[in-house]
């Protein structure tokens, strides 16, 4: 077989602010590979099919002299990221030709696992709704585990803390996103009334499609009016994102809290019924030891954190005997892994659980998608389709 192009995405320049496509990250088609001839040295050869584009990648695009919780990309070398590939040659008995694998793609992926796709799902689902956390995560970078856990976050939070009873009313803010949309569907399957809010008409339509009873755009409709008109809520599920970002001149990683804002908090507390529950799901893209370091630094004041000011209705937590559950998946690692895949995979396969992805075709588009994710312009989980199966 004659050599073919072995496309790569290179980290070419450390960005000063947003990563610039074609400058920070460049697509390189100069390398070729002869699939039959390349020396495997006991390893495997993978055809990359899908790549996950995630916010944490920005943290790696920095001067390696600057310490952070993830190792820096090296200028002139390939980017790496979570992805799915197909084994096309193997000298490793753990992998067979034709296996689909999940893990850190390109150049010395330190660990890969074979996907059990008995339900014949689109492979990209394993980077989105069925993203693999816990024991399924193999890729480690300097002790850090990378994962996409919106599905497990929604499922575990719901199982652990909803105490859902048929007929109750749950309010899901950011209900159009990957965590919120799954919570909406889990709630509907248990017979709850669901009120969902989102920040665009397109997301409102998606919430309607997946079964939310009352949907509204919080930018154009008053949350308080809706919640009170609907007779109050037994539960509020919200998503808080902690995104590690690098400030231009700062040497430390900063987090910012991308939640729905103090006003929604006050509205939800006002509409809460006695003994209601609040489940606040946190999402952190890169964590474990790195996460702990980050938290530890934050606690000891070495990180300049944006502070959060809440007021007015917080006493409602007490006077209404509310319970607020903070939640990040890592503290429940493994608890629902088996159940999650056993229950959710067939539901995703049958279409009973819906999800959304934003798939962009072409490895040369990586730079554009990285920028869109950093700007928050993606409408769903961002995935690059590198090749057809």
- Name the site residues for its own copies (rule: CB under 8 A): 161, 240, 242, 255, 257, 270, 274-275, 280-282, 284, 295, 299, 305, 307-328, 331-332
Report helix, strand or coil for 353.
coil
To its own copies, the closest distance from the beta carbon of 329 in angstroms equals 9
To its own copies, the closest distance from the beta carbon of 332 in angstroms equals 7
**Choice between 248 and 306, CB closer to its own copies:** 306
**Choice between 73 and 291, CB closer to its own copies:** 291
To its own copies, the closest distance from the beta carbon of 240 in angstroms equals 5
**Choice between 220 and 321, CB closer to its own copies:** 321
Angle at 66 between CA 327 and CA 288, to 5 degrees: 25
Closest to 139 (Cα-Cα) out of 109, 119, 169: 109
- Indicate the burial class of 350 (C-beta count within 10 angstroms; 0-12, 13-18, 19 or more): exposed
**Choice between 122 and 282, CB closer to its own copies:** 282
To its own copies, the closest distance from the beta carbon of 24 in angstroms equals 29
Whether 207 and 233 have beta carbons less than 8 Å apart is answered as no
**Choice between 64 and 143, CB closer to its own copies:** 143
Query: 293-332 in b/e burial notation, b at 16+ Cβ within 10 A?
Result: bbbeebeeeebeeeeeeeeebeebeeebebeeeebbbbeb
Report helix, strand or coil for 27.
strand
Measured in whole angstroms, how far is the alpha carbon of residue 200 from the centre of its chain?
20
Phi/psi for 126 (5° steps) reads: -75, -5
**Choice between 282 and 346, CB closer to its own copies:** 282
């Amino acid at each position: 077989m004659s050599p073919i192009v072995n496309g790569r995405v290179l980290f070419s320049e450390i960005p000063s602010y947003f990563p610039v496509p074609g400058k920070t990250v460049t697509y390189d088609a100069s390398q070729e590979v002869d699939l039959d001839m390349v020396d495997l040295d006991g390893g495997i050869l993978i055809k990359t099919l899908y790549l996950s584009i995630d916010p944490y990648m920005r943290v790696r695009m920095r001067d390696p002299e600057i310490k952070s919780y993830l190792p820096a990309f090296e200028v002139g070398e390939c980017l790496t990221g979570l992805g799915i590939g197909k084994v096309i040659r193997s000298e490793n008995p753990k992998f067979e030709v034709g296996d689909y694998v999940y893990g850190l793609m390109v150049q010395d992926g330190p660990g890969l696992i074979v996907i059990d796709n008995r339900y014949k799902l689109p492979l990209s689902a394993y980077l989105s709704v069925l993203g693999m956390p816990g024991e399924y995560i193999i890729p480690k970078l300097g002790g850090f585990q990378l994962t996409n856990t919106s599905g497990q976050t929604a499922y575990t939070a719901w199982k652990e803390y909803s105490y859902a009873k048929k007929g109750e009313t749950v309010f899901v803010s950011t209900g159009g996103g990957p965590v919120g949309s799954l919570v909406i569907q889990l709630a509907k399957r248990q017979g709850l009334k669901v009120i969902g809010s989102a920040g665009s008409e397109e997301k409102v339509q998606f919430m309607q499609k997946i079964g939310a009873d009352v949907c509204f755009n919080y930018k154009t409709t008053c949350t308080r009016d809706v919640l009170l008109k609907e007779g109050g809520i037994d539960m509020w599920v919200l998503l808080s994102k902690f995104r590690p970002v690098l400030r231009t001149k700062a040497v430390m990683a900063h987090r910012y809290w991308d939640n729905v804002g103090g006003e929604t908090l006050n509205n939800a507390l006002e509409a809460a019924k006695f003994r209601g529950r609040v489940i606040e799901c946190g999402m952190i893209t890169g964590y474990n030891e790195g996460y702990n370091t980050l938290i530890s630094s934050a606690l000891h004041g070495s990180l300049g954190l944006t502070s959060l000011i809440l007021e007015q209705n917080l006493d409602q937590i007490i006077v209404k005997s509310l319970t607020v559950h903070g939640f990040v998946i890592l503290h429940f690692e493994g608890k629902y892994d088996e159940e999650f895949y056993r229950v959710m995979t067939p539901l995703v396969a049958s279409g009973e659980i819906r999800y959304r992805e934003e798939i962009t075709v072409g490895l040369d588009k990586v730079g554009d998608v990285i920028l869109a994710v950093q700007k928050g312009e993606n409408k769903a989980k961002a995935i690059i389709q590198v090749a057809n199966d």
